[in-house]
Structure 1
Amino acid sequence: MTRSLDEANREITRVRQMPYGLARTQAAERQVRLVDAEGPDAARAYALGTLVEAYQWGGEVDRSFVAFARLLRWWDEHPEHFDAQDRHGLFWSFKWMISGLADFPTVPAEQIDRTLADMERRYALAGNGMDAVAYERFAWARQRGAADVEAAYQAWVATPRDDYSQCEACDPGDRAAWLLATDRVEEGVRIIEQTLAEDPSCASEPADMLSYLAEAYLDQGRPRDAARTHRRAVAALAEAESDMVGARGRRVRLLARGGQAERAVRAIEADQQYLTGGDTPYSQLAFARLVGSATHVLRSTGSGDLPVRLSSVPATTVAELDDWLRSRADELAAQFDARNGTTAETESVARAWATEPAADTLDLDVLPRGLAAGGGAAAGGGAAAGGVGAGASSAGVHGSAAAGATGDGGAGTGAGTADAAAGTGGDARRAAPADPAALVAEAERLAGAGDLESAAGAYLDAAVAFEGAGLLTESGFGYAEAAHCAQVLGDDDGAASGYAAAVARLLAADVPATVVAPVVVAWAGAAAVTGQAEAVLAEADGLLLRLGTAAGPDDDRAPELVAREQAEHRRAAADLDDAAARLLATLGGPERSAAAAARAQAAAEAYAGLGALADAAHAFWLAGRLHDDLGHVEDAVWHLESAMEGFQAARQRGPHGEVANALVDVLRRSGQDARADDLARTLTP
């Protein structure tokens, strides 16, 4: 039965609402096939444009070229079938084609030049502005190292903005990037600072410009500003929609140049898929060059023997990774230089491997390490005064539990109490109040204002004061809140230290296991990064034993009280099993992965029994990924299907689509194309 135009458009729109990935791509391909087979012709431009976008942002840039060629041919033959949205999408996609073609060294330079000329011709015929054309001309000149690149840049910035210009976040970010690359640092920093004040946001910003700004601050001798901006960049990067290899690589380079060797290695391990992946060969080269500059710095400063845990690269130390990256970067650079007819990429690689450490060391510690041993605020070496920028917030592990245990507490003393925890002292702060409840109130005020660094110090002061007064429960909550602030700010070492201190004091106070469990779960997130997995697993298993002693048949309390307590115990146990599964998964190895999958399934089933459908779906999703890694195809499929059902029942469309992407990938890799096609048919009616 032939669909009406409205029906076809509704189904294509549903595809566009899916997260990028294989499921969305497959669904878009299906819509094109349906339109080709049965029409209506008026929906073909919308279907093809959706397919181009799915390929472009779904990691298959090379496949977008053919789809775009079909879309362009359809425009030439039947412009009457393009509405205003279709027309805008066609001309917008032209920009992706230029940059995409340039990112593959097998595409001849002459073809890119012809495509750019065709773009300019078509824009002129359509009466479009020329800002997008000028930008693409500059970007292509910069990538190939043309002699006229500065002239192309000046021509671009002099061209008026129009409907096809880059967004108002990307445009200044790209201008600043060129200025920073050509030693016009003050001007580049000024542009980024002005843009950030307007709170821009898109698929890649503000993460990209923040990563540039953090390193510029470090080079200007402003390490505190660099640290604060780095934290904002990491938070923004977590929300970005594309692979963001530039921002990720600059993050690694900043850490290495700023004397944070361990954090740099962790960042490499976290993003290791881009060492051998990346959407295009040029993104692979860019990432290899940026990370290579970091490994070079680490190696030259005595950290070449640091171990790295990598699954797809034959390297076990920083030095070995450095050698591998240099070889890979040289090979890719040579391919691009051969296509471009210049030596620009080879020279850029050589400059990367001549990178030097910064003059200043970054201080990214929010809390001191070793708090569990009772060092407290006097341990020193932690939080620096000052905010973390707009958008930061703190919803602590237990909210205002410490304040609630002692009353309202009274007024705070103003900002800067974090310096007491840091041991910096001096005239930068007023004396901390002796009343721990007042410290908690001050910490909550600081956290509410977005100043998590100072809030962490105030919570830490409160924890020490509570402990001095013999109030271990309140002290434990204070440590937990301080740890949460540190965790939000990316100080996993400090967070792990704070959580360990919190758990030690809460257990010493003999608080219920259901109260300690959320702190252990939060600790697990930091432990996965800092190598404390075994300690947290031991605490989780100990709490699970305590939770197993639920009310027995002789309990004479009211049945509803007993039922509520049992539900609380089951929820806490599910949370602990879920956290343990995620920790075990980080340890690697078939035995650990199998144990992680089993615990994830146990957590999922417990969540489902409690009606926590979204939590159950997340746990099933984890189990499915683990079974896929183990080569257990049918187990992976079953768990991923269960996750999809859970997210659908919970009405969470985004995660549902992401699991669908993973399931399509499993089915395709295992040769089950028919099942993958069946899945695509269920994603859009």
Structure 2
Amino acid sequence: MTRSVDQVNAALYDVRRMPYGLARSTAAAAEVERVEAEGPDGARAYALFVLVESYVWGGEVTKAYLPFTKMLRWWDEHPEHFDAEDAHSLFWSFKWMVGHLMEFPTVPAAQIERTLDDMARRYALAGNGTNAVALERFEWARERGGQDVEDAYRAWVATPRDEFSQCEACEPGDRAAYLFEVGRHDEGIRLLEQVLQGSPSCATEPGDMLSHLQLAYLVVGDAAAAARTHRRGLRHLDTGVAMTGPKGRHVEFLARTGNASRALRLLTEHQAFLTETDSPGDRLGFLTSVSVATGALRAEHGDAPLALRDVPAATVAELDDWARREASELARAFDARNGTPAASERLRSAWAAGTRTLPVDLAVLTSAAAPGSSVAAGAGGSDGTTPSAPPDGVIVPGAATSAGAQGGGPATAGAEPSDADGLLALAEGVAGEDPVRAAQLLRRAAALLESAGHLDRAGFTLAEAARLAALEGDDDGAAPAFVHALALVRAGGVAPRFVGPVVRAYARLEAGRGDVSGALAQVERTLDDLAATTDPLAAGSAPRAAELVERDAAADDRERRDLRDTQARLLATAGDLDAAATLAEAVAEDFARAGQVGDAAHAFWLAGRSRCEAGADAEAVDLLESAMAGFAIVHDRETRTAVANELVATLRRLGREQDAAAVGAALSG
């Protein structure tokens, strides 16, 4: 039975709600195939657009050209099947196609110019505004270099905005990127500072503009603004799209500001872009940033080791040589297509500009040894009892028992508090707007609490400072703070089930840093401590009501499951994939028995990913399917789709194309 237009549109709406990736693209392709075979004709334009959109933003740009061509032919042959929204989508897609053609050096210049002319002709025939056409002509002029670039830029900026213009969040970033490229840094900074006073947002913004702005502040010598912008930019890198350029610029920024260890960690995290991106143009951009970074690091850190999977480089110096060769080769390919030396000149200009550095202190917590007196093992809580603990991520005002006990009375009006209570309250008040200051206030409060003997509260306060510091990118300051916080809460007599959340926060940090041995030791110690407290009749245990014993036992069991899940994730990070998968599967079953379906789904997902990474795709399929089923039960559509992306890729590697297509169809059905 042929579906109605409304029924197809509803199915396509469900597809568009899915995160970008293989599962969404597969689902969109299935809808196009069905509409082309069964109709209705009135839904075909929308179906083709959804497939184009899915490919463009899902990392399969080259696949978008066929459905776009089909959509264009459908428009020429049957404009009556396009409503106003379909027509808008067609002309909006033109921008993606023209722009992406430039990203592939194998596409001849003549083809790009023909497509640009066709775009201009069709826009004129439809009575559309010409701002988008002016933008693409500017981008093509910029790509090729030459004397007409500034004129093309001015023509674009002077053309009135219309319904096909770049979104209001993207356009200022595009303008500023050009201004920075030609050395007009003050002008670009003013533009972005004005825009950022609002809340610009889209798939790539404000992350993209912030990544450019941090480097502009570096050039003009404003270290404070550079640090502030870098931290803000880090929070906008995980957007569901690749963000290849911004991630490369953050690596470059860290290298040029004296933050070598951070630069190398971020580079290692995003190393896949060294060899594989959505387009050769994206790869050239990333390699440019990386080669600038390695050039800045080479003199002092050339022998620093790197753990790279697919690149023949074991040190910074070797990566610098490799990245420069790869970037130069790509630039020459673009030059050959463009008929100009512009790409190679831009690369050399970036290398020259990269020699300009500026020390920028990105520390949130100091790297010195944690303050306060030495921790006496086995010390009790501040009131001689076993204290409780706050929930994860909660700042606890009033953690001190009295102001006078913390080394100072109430602060005078207008001055920063000198007592723990006041510091905690102030930290809570500023955390939303200034997490860096909040973390520093909390560290001071923790030192006062520790000096006064309130070890439990000092530990939780310091852990919260470490959590905020980690969120702001200060892994080097957060890690020792977490370790000291754990020593404090244990010495303060905190029950293991309350120590567990701090251990897990520390483990997440160390997983990102790549060295998980310390975190694994903390997890194992806490699991041992939990095992030692499971017997309510153990020697020295005080008699308690049965319901309290049952409640605490249930809480211990839940924390034990969470810690074992963390242990599996740390093992995966360490590369012990078989052990990680085996443990994750066991933990998933424990979660399921306890009724924690969402947690079970995440653990099955980890087990499946670990099997895939170990090359055991066949063993991963059932695990990934179990994860998808769990996320369906808890109505977590977005995460279910993320798992489906991996399942589709796994099935395709196994040659099970029909099964892969069925996964996409099931998601959109």
Q: Shorter-chain TM-score category?
A: over 0.9
CA distance in structure 2 between the partners assigned to 1:288 and 1:647 by the alignment: 37
Equivalent pair of 2:23/2:641 in contact (CA under 8 Å): yes
Determine if the alignment matches structure 1 residue 254 to structure 2 residue 238: no
- The CA deviation at 1:17 is 1.1
Query: Equivalent residues in 2 for 1:650-669 (5 A)?
Result: 650-669=634-653
Query: Equivalent residues in 2 for 1:38-57 (5 A)?
Result: 38-57=38-57
CA offsets 1:293-345 (integer angstroms, 9 cap, x no match): 1111111x311111111111111111111111111111111111000000111
CA distance in structure 2 between the partners assigned to 1:255 and 1:532 by the alignment: 20
Partner of 1:320: 318
Select 1:628's aligned residue among 599, 602, 612: 612
Partner of 1:670: 654
CA distance in structure 1 between the partners assigned to 2:485 and 2:97 by the alignment: 54
Partner of 2:149: 149
Equivalent pair of 1:617/1:647 in contact (CA under 8 Å): yes
Partner of 1:640: 624
More deviation, 139-148/401-410 = 401-410
Select 1:522's aligned residue among 486, 505, 513: 505
Select 1:308's aligned residue among 306, 309, 315: 306
CA offsets 1:375-413 (integer angstroms, 9 cap, x no match): 89xxxxxxxxxxxxxxxxxx9845134635637999975
Select 1:437's aligned residue among 418, 421, 432: 421
Determine if the alignment matches structure 1 residue 482 to structure 2 residue 465: yes
CA distance in structure 2 between the partners assigned to 1:470 and 1:532 by the alignment: 32
SS of the residue 1:237 aligns to: coil
Partner of 2:573: 586
Query: Equivalent residues in 2 for 1:461-480 (5 A)?
Result: 461-480=444-463
Determine if the alignment matches structure 1 residue 571 to structure 2 residue 571: no
- The CA deviation at 1:58 is 1.0
Partner of 2:398: 403
- The CA deviation at 1:598 is 2.4
CA distance in structure 2 between the partners assigned to 1:177 and 1:67 by the alignment: 31
- Equivalent pairs counted in the alignment come to 647
Equivalent pair of 1:12/1:50 in contact (CA under 8 Å): yes
Partner of 1:187: 187
Cα 1:212/1:411, change in 2 over 3 Å: farther
CA offsets 1:501-543 (integer angstroms, 9 cap, x no match): 1001111122100111000100112212345511111111011
Partner of 1:36: 36
- The CA deviation at 1:561 is 2.5
Which structure 2 segments of 5+ residues have no match?
A: 375-389
Amino acid paired to 2:318: E
CA distance in structure 1 between the partners assigned to 2:353 and 2:149 by the alignment: 24
Cα 1:634/1:533, change in 2 over 3 Å: same
Amino acid paired to 1:633: D
Amino acid paired to 1:606: D
CA offsets 1:423-458 (integer angstroms, 9 cap, x no match): xxxxxx95651x32222222212214x211111111
Determine if the alignment matches structure 1 residue 131 to structure 2 residue 131: yes
CA distance in structure 1 between the partners assigned to 2:97 and 2:409 by the alignment: 59
- The CA deviation at 1:641 is 1.0
Equivalent pair of 2:397/2:428 in contact (CA under 8 Å): no
Supply the RMSD in Å over aligned alpha carbons.
2.2
Equivalent pair of 1:476/1:505 in contact (CA under 8 Å): yes
CA distance in structure 2 between the partners assigned to 1:642 and 1:294 by the alignment: 42
Partner of 2:358: 360
- The CA deviation at 1:614 is 2.1
CA offsets 1:622-672 (integer angstroms, 9 cap, x no match): 111111011122331122111111111111111111111110000001111
Partner of 2:381: none
Equivalent pair of 1:396/1:485 in contact (CA under 8 Å): no
Equivalent pair of 1:517/1:572 in contact (CA under 8 Å): yes
Query: Equivalent residues in 2 for 1:543-582 (5 A)?
Result: 543-549=526-532, 551-552=534-535, 557-582=544-569
SS of the residue 2:235 aligns to: helix
Partner of 1:382: none
SS of the residue 1:354 aligns to: helix
Equivalent pair of 2:400/2:449 in contact (CA under 8 Å): no
More deviation, 565-574/497-506 = 565-574
Equivalent pair of 2:400/2:454 in contact (CA under 8 Å): no
CA offsets 1:453-473 (integer angstroms, 9 cap, x no match): 111111111111111111111
- The CA deviation at 1:121 is 0.5
Partner of 2:443: 460
SS of the residue 2:352 aligns to: coil
More deviation, 573-582/194-203 = 573-582
CA distance in structure 2 between the partners assigned to 1:582 and 1:654 by the alignment: 21
Amino acid paired to 1:625: R
Equivalent pair of 1:412/1:439 in contact (CA under 8 Å): no
- The CA deviation at 1:373 is 7.7
Determine if the alignment matches structure 1 residue 282 to structure 2 residue 281: yes
CA distance in structure 1 between the partners assigned to 2:410 and 2:626 by the alignment: 50
Equivalent pair of 2:399/2:420 in contact (CA under 8 Å): no
More deviation, 400-409/109-118 = 400-409
- The CA deviation at 1:577 is 1.6
More deviation, 604-613/189-198 = 604-613
Equivalent pair of 1:411/1:438 in contact (CA under 8 Å): no
Amino acid paired to 2:265: R
More deviation, 343-352/169-178 = 343-352
Amino acid paired to 1:40: P
Cα 1:641/1:116, change in 2 over 3 Å: same
Equivalent pair of 1:337/1:346 in contact (CA under 8 Å): yes
Equivalent pair of 1:131/1:156 in contact (CA under 8 Å): yes
CA distance in structure 1 between the partners assigned to 2:515 and 2:662 by the alignment: 43
Cα 1:62/1:469, change in 2 over 3 Å: same
CA distance in structure 1 between the partners assigned to 2:371 and 2:615 by the alignment: 43
- The CA deviation at 1:112 is 0.4
Per the normalisation by structure 1, the TM-score is 0.91
Amino acid paired to 2:643: V
SS of the residue 2:300 aligns to: coil
Equivalent pair of 2:172/2:195 in contact (CA under 8 Å): yes
CA distance in structure 2 between the partners assigned to 1:486 and 1:669 by the alignment: 41
Determine if the alignment matches structure 1 residue 264 to structure 2 residue 236: no
Equivalent pair of 1:567/1:610 in contact (CA under 8 Å): no
CA distance in structure 1 between the partners assigned to 2:581 and 2:518 by the alignment: 20
Equivalent pair of 1:176/1:189 in contact (CA under 8 Å): yes
Partner of 2:176: 176
- The CA deviation at 1:578 is 2.0
Cα 1:237/1:407, change in 2 over 3 Å: farther
Amino acid paired to 1:50: V
CA offsets 1:45-100 (integer angstroms, 9 cap, x no match): 01111111111111111111111000000000001101111111000000001011
Equivalent pair of 1:72/1:90 in contact (CA under 8 Å): yes
CA distance in structure 2 between the partners assigned to 1:145 and 1:340 by the alignment: 9
Per the normalisation by structure 2, the TM-score is 0.93
Partner of 1:421: none
CA distance in structure 1 between the partners assigned to 2:154 and 2:279 by the alignment: 28
Amino acid paired to 1:399: V
More deviation, 250-259/405-414 = 405-414
- The CA deviation at 1:616 is 2.1
Equivalent pair of 2:274/2:283 in contact (CA under 8 Å): yes
Amino acid paired to 2:564: D
- The CA deviation at 1:374 is 5.3
Amino acid paired to 2:589: E
CA distance in structure 2 between the partners assigned to 1:527 and 1:369 by the alignment: 16
